[in-house]
């Protein structure tokens, strides 16, 4: 997709180690996609190439950085020499420019927190600094909770700098109402998915279509009490494992088992 950009003649994308992405390092640590491009003539803007890819590819397929080369390094056999590809400069070489408004200052602090950096200038590209999908999601969530503005994650991909994103906050949508608990009825109506499975069961009869068999081989002495306790904890934590479907006067309803850490009793 990078090679489809009108200013790019050749392109290659490889997975390589990248710097941390903030508080979600444990989830995103490891290899990330890095793009290498050769311009048709003159120069090509790496940020523009990333935006071009971001408009046509899912987020996880967009390189975290794009490096411009005079030519792609090749081996003696004429194949791409991956080891000769340079390490990208995630700092981007952009001169630091401090925030000039309170909104820019707040956004810059959020950028830095999401990226695990000490500071971020208003011209620094979030993804060029190592931002990833999870850290982008974290940033959007912080904007929602702190500034009360709903910013689609696509907007962050289109405007990955503080200077570019700040003006878009004025046109951001209102924050969605938070989820709050409702009074629980005695009998809960089935969801559409549950109704479908109930209908198939009534139409076809007992079936193993949706069963997922799994075999686990254990070695050594087995503590059966510990295994039973572990299963009981999982069942107590997930209500779907304690739910039965009951017919009441021809209608279908959910009948949840009573929660309990050690035992559960269905009503």
pLDDT for 81 equals 93
pLDDT in tens, 115-157: 888 889 998 888 877 787 788 889 999 998 888 888 888 888 8
User: Mean pLDDT, to the nearest integer, of 8-35?
Assistant: 68
What is the per-residue pLDDT for 252? 59
Best CA proximity match to 98, nearest among 86, 108, 90, 84 = 108
pTM here? 0.47
Task: Band the pLDDT of 26: cuts 50, 70, 90.
Answer: very low
Is residue 262 scored above 60 in pLDDT? no
Asked whether 122 and 104 are in contact (CB, 8 A), the reply is: yes
**pLDDT digits 0-9 by tens, 198-235:** 888 888 888 888 888 999 898 999 999 999 999 999 99
Output the pLDDT for position 255.
56
pLDDT tens, residue by residue, 96-120: 888 999 999 999 999 999 888 888 9
Looking at every residue in the chain, the average pLDDT score rounds to 81
Count Cβ neighbours within 10 Å for each residue of 46-62 and write b for 16 or more, e otherwise. bbebbbbbbeeeeeeeb
């Amino acid at each position: 997709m990078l090679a489809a950009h009108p200013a790019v003649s050749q392109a290659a994308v490889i997975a390589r180690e990248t710097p941390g992405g903030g508080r979600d390092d444990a989830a995103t640590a490891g290899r990330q996609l890095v793009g290498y491009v050769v311009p048709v003539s003159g120069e090509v803007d790496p940020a523009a190439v990333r935006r071009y890819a971001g408009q046509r590819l899912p987020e996880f397929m967009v390189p975290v950085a794009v490096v411009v080369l005079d030519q792609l390094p090749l081996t003696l056999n004429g194949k791409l020499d991956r080891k000769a590809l340079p390490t990208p400069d995630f700092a981007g070489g952009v001169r630091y420019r401090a925030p000039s408004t309170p909104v820019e200052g707040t956004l810059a602090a959020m950028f830095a927190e999401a990226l695990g950096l000490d500071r971020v200038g208003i011209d620094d590209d979030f993804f060029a600094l190592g931002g990833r999908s999870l850290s982008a999601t974290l940033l959007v969530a912080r904007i929602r909770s702190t500034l009360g503005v709903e910013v689609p994650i696509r907007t962050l991909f289109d405007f990955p700098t503080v200077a570019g994103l700040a003006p878009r906050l004025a046109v951001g949508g209102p924050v969605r109402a938070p989820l709050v608990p409702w009074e629980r009825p005695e009998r809960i109506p089935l969801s559409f998915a549950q109704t479908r499975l109930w209908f198939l069961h009534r139409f076809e009869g007992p079936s193993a279509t949706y069963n997922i068999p799994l075999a686990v081989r254990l070695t050594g002495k087995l503590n059966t009490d510990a295994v039973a306790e572990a299963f009981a904890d999982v069942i107590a934590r997930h209500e779907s494992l304690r739910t039965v479907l009951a017919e009441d006067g021809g209608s279908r309803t959910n009948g949840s088992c009573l929660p309990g850490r050690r035992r559960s009793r269905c009503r």
